[in-house]
Chain A
C-alpha cells in the first residue's frame, strides 16, 4: 500500500494535529501564567487600597481622640473637599444609627473591611460603583466608615483580563501557524523518507533513506535503517551472486552437451530422430532455466534503470502483426483494437515479452476457433492493455495462482511449457509497477495490464534509446 502524499491544506494532516496540540498546550500555559499574574496584581492592588483606608481611618480616629466629635466632622469635611470625584468618601453614625456626617449609604456601616455599591452619575451615564470600605469603631459608640474608589483596581483587573484573553488567543494562533509550518517541514522530510522507502519496496536496491534532521535521534533512526538495508542488500547480493555462479557453472556443461549433440546432428551419426529429440530436451531444460533466472533478475529490480518512454500502441501493433499468422495457423483469430499514441514508461523488450507471453498463453490454452483480442485504451492516467480470449477461461479461485512459478492447471498438464509464462508476466508487470489483473465478468480469459501513462514531467534518467540491432 502506498503512503498517502502530504496535502498542504489537509486539516486532518499530522502537521495540523501537531500544531493544534502545540497551540492547546501553549494556550493553557499562557492562560495559567497570565491568570497568576492577574491574581498577584489584583491582590497587590487590594492590599494597597486597604492600607490606604486603614491609614485614613487612623488619622481621623486620632483627630477624634484629640479634638472630639466636632474636630472629627471638621476633619471629614476638610478631607472630603469639594471635589466631584474625591479620593475618599465617608460616613459617621452614632450609636442609634443616625448619620452625623458623610454621604455614604447607611448599609456601609458594617464592622471591618467590606465594600459598598454606590450609584453614581459619571459622564452623564448612571452606573453603580463599588467602593472598598474600612469601618472603625470609635469611643462613644460612633462608627466611622471610610471608603475609597476601587475603580482603578477594577479597571486594572478588567484590562489585565482582556489582555490575558487576547494574548492567549494570539499566542495560541501563533503556535498554531508556527506549529503547522514546522510540522509541515518535518512531514515533508518524512515524505522524502517515505518516497525512498517506496523506491526500495519497488526494488531499487541502491536507494538509501535521507536524513530526517531535527535532532540526532531521528538521524540515528535513519542511520540504523540504512545499516539494516546495507546488510539485507549484502545478503541479497550474495544470493544473486550464487544464482549467477550456478547459471554460469550449470550452463557451461549444458552448452557443451548441446554442442556435442549438434555435432552428432550435423555428422548424421547415430539415430537422427533420437538426437533431434535430445537437442529439443536440452533446449527445453535450458529455456526453463533461462526463464527462472530471468524472473529472478526482474524481481530483483534489474532493468528499471533503463526505463524510458515506450510507444505502447506501436509495440502492440507490432506484436499483433507478428502473431496474426501464428494464430491463424492454429485455427484461431486475432483481433487488435489499439488506441494510438499511448506512451508509457518502461523497458520495450520486457513489455514486448509480457504481451507475447499473454498471447502465446492464449494460443496454447484455447481450442481452435477461439477469438483472441488485443485491446489498448487509456483510462484516466492509466494505459489499460488487455489480452482476452473467448476460450474456456479459468475459475476465479485459480486466478491468483496462475501467476505463480511452475503453476500448471491440471487441464493444461498435457500441453507444453513449464508454467513460467504468466509468472514472468507478473514479474515484468511488478517491475513496471503495473496492475496485473484478471477481471471478472468476461467470457474466457482476460488479462488486464494497467500501466501508468508517461507524461511530459516524468523524469527519465537514462536516454530513452531503443536498442535494436542495426
Chain B
C-alpha cells in the first residue's frame, strides 16, 4: 500500500519508514503540514499517517485542509500529546483513527490494515462466516459446525469484531476501543479474560482452533 507519513522527528520517521517498508508498504515521508497537504492532494494514498506536533502547519489543521479539499483518504493521527481531548479533536478534524505514542509497530500496522480496507463488504453483510463458524448478525446467534453456541452480549460483540477483521491482526487496544468503548489502557487483562471464555465456547471441542494469539500484538481469527 502507498502511505503518506508526516513526522518531523528524523529518528522516529526513519524507524517508521523501516517498519512500514518491511511490511510491504510504500512510504512518502514529509516533515511539515504544508508538504503533507501538497502530497495528499497530488497523489493517491491508501492511508495518511500524521503526527500532530510538527513545524509549520500542525497535523490537525493540515488534515482539516486536506478534508476541506475533498480528500477522503483514511487518516490516522500519531502523537505524543497526552490530551484528554486530543482523540476527539482529531476525530472531529476528520481523522479515522488515533494512536498515541508510544505504540507497538504491530499496533500501527494492524490499524493501517483496518483503515485501508474500510468499509469492508462484510460490515453490511447479514451473516459472516469464518470456516465453519457462522455469525448471524440480525438474529445475533452463532453456530460452529452447525451447532448453536450461546454467547453473552459482549462475547458476541468481541467475536463480531474479530470476524469482521478475519485474517487480520486485531490488537488489544483496537478491541478495547471498538468492543468496550474504553479509550484508555486498563491495567488488568480484560481482553484475555473475555477471550479465554470465547475460545472455550467456540473453539474447544471443535478440533481446529479459529482464534489465534499473535505474540506481542493481539489476536487473529481465520480458518487457517
Interface range on chain A (Cβ under 8 Å from partner): 35 or more
Least CB distance, B147 to chain A, in whole angstroms: 23
B105 pairs with A262, CB closer than 8 A = yes
Which residues from chain A contact B97 at a C-beta distance below 8 Å? 469
**Nearest chain-B residue to A315 (Cβ)?**
B181
Instruction: Write out the residue numbers on chain A whose beta carbons fall within 8 Å of the beta carbon of B186.
Output: 356, 360
B102 touches A251 (CB 8 A): yes
Contact with A along B173-186 (1 / 0, CB 8 A): 00001101111111
Contact present for A294 and B84 (CB under 8 Å)? yes
Residue with the greatest number of chain A CB neighbours at <10 A, chosen from B153, B187, B190: B187
Given contacts A297-B83, A306-B85, A469-B178, contact A287 B12 (CB under 8 A): no
Measured CA separation A82–B91 after assembly (Å)? 112
The one of B15, B81, B105, B188 in contact with A247, judged by C-beta atoms closer than 8 angstroms, is: B81
- A85: Cβ under 8 A from any B Cβ: no
A255 to B80 CA separation, bound complex (whole angstroms) = 9
Asked if residues A255 and B12 are in contact (CB atoms below 8 Å), the reply is: yes
**Is the CB–CB distance between B197 and A325 below 8 Å?**
yes
Q: Which of A244, A263, A325, A468 contacts B181 (CB 8 A)?
A: A468
The answer to whether A467 and B87 have CB atoms under 8 Å apart is yes
B85 and A302: CB pair below 8 A? Answer: yes
Contact A247 B187, CB 8 Å, known A252-B9, A306-B88, A321-B153: no
Q: How far is the CB of A312 from chain B (nearest CB, A)?
A: 14
B residues near A302, Cβ cutoff 8 Å: 83-85
B104 partner residues in chain A, CB cutoff 8 A: 258, 262
Residues 77-112 of B contacting A (Cβ, < 8 Å): 80-85, 87-88, 91-92, 97, 100-106
* CB pair B11 A252 closer than 8 Å: yes
B12 engages A256 (CB within 8 Å):
yes
Interface residues in A368-422 by Cβ distance below 8 A to B read 416-417, 421
Residue contact B85 to A305, C-beta cutoff 8 Å: yes
B154's closest neighbor in chain A, by CB?
A321
User: Is the beta-carbon distance between B180 and A353 smaller than 8 angstroms?
Assistant: no
Contact indicator A294/B82 (Cβ below 8 Å): yes
Q: Does A286 contact B (CB under 8 A)?
A: yes
Q: Which residues of B contact A116 (CB under 8 A)?
A: none
What's the tally of chain B residues with a CB closer than 8 Å to chain A?
A: 45
Contact B80–A350 (Cβ < 8 Å): no
Q: Which of B12, B80, B153, B216 has the most CB of A within 10 A?
A: B80
Instruction: Check if A298 is an interface residue, CB within 8 A of chain B.
Output: yes
Q: Which of A254-288 contact B (CB under 8 A)?
A: 254-256, 258-260, 262-263, 265-266, 279, 282, 286-287
Interface members, chain A 229-248 (any B CB < 8 Å) = 244, 247-248
- Candidates A248, A347, A348, A350; contact of B81 at CB < 8 Å: A248
Q: Within A437-470, which residues are at the interface with B (CB < 8 Å)?
A: 466-469
Chain B, residues 5-19, CB within 8 Å of chain A (1/0): the string is 000010110010001
Is B189 engaged at the interface, CB distance under 8 Å to the other chain?
yes
Given contacts A255-B12, A305-B85, A356-B182, contact A364 B187 (CB under 8 A): yes
Q: Which of A97-120 contact B (CB under 8 A)?
A: none
Interface string of A328-346 (1 = CB under 8 A from B): 1100000000000000000
CB neighbours (8 Å) of A350 from chain B are 84
Q: Is B148 on the interface with A (CB-CB < 8 A)?
A: no
**Bound Cα distance from A329 to B180, whole angstroms:** 19
B85 and A326 contact, CB distance less than 8 A: no
* Nearest chain A CB to B167 CB, angstrom units: 20
Q: Is the CB of A248 within 8 A of B187?
A: no
A244 to B101, CA, bound (A): 13
> Does any Cβ of B come within 8 Å of A138's Cβ?
no
Which residue of chain A has its CB nearest to the CB of B87? Answer: A467
Q: When the two chains form their complex, are residues B182 and A352 in contact, meaning their CB atoms are under 8 A apart?
A: yes
Whether B194 sits at the interface, judged by CB under 8 Å, is: yes
Q: With a CB–CB cut-off of 8 A, which chain B residues contact A251? A: 80, 101-102
Does chain A have a CB within 8 A of B53? Answer: yes
The residues of B that contact A297 with a CB separation of less than 8 Å are 82-84
Contact A286 B85, beta carbon cutoff 8 Å: no
Task: Name B15's closest neighbour in chain A (CB-CB).
Answer: A259
Question: B182 and A322: CB pair below 8 A?
Answer: yes
Which of chain A's residues have a CB closer than 8 A to the CB of B184?
349, 352-353, 356
In the assembly, what is the distance between CA of A286 and CA of B193, in Å? 24
Mask, B150-173, CB within 8 Å of A = 1, is 001110000000000000000000
Whole-angstrom CA separation of A356 from B187 in the bound complex:
9
| A252, A294, A421: most-surrounded residue (chain B CB, <10 A) | A252
Contact indicator B81/A244 (Cβ below 8 Å): yes
Q: Contacts A255-B12, A302-B85, A469-B97; is A326 near B190 (CB within 8 Å)?
A: yes
Pairwise interchain contact B102-A467, C-beta atoms closer than 8 A? no
> In the complex, which residues of chain B have a beta carbon less than 8 angstroms from the beta carbon of A127?
none
Contact pick for B188, options A263, A287, A348, A363, CB 8 Å: A363
B11 touches A256 (CB 8 A): yes
Distance (Å) between the CB of A382 and the closest chain B CB? Answer: 24
Chain B: residues with CB nearer than 8 A to chain A?
9, 11-12, 15, 19, 53, 80-85, 87-88, 91-92, 97, 100-106, 152-154, 177-178, 180-190, 193-194, 196-197, 216
Contacts A253-B11, A297-B84 known; list 14 others, CB within 8 Å.
Answer: A248-B80, A252-B9, A256-B11, A262-B216, A302-B83, A303-B85, A322-B190, A325-B193, A326-B188, A347-B84, A349-B87, A353-B184, A360-B187, A467-B87
Sample (27) of A-B pairs whose CB atoms are under 8 Å apart = A247-B80, A248-B80, A248-B81, A252-B9, A252-B12, A254-B102, A259-B105, A262-B104, A262-B106, A282-B102, A297-B83, A297-B84, A302-B85, A303-B84, A303-B85, A305-B85, A306-B85, A322-B180, A323-B188, A325-B190, A329-B189, A348-B181, A349-B84, A356-B184, A416-B187, A467-B91, A468-B177
Closest 3 CB pairs of A and B: A325-B193, A255-B102, A303-B84
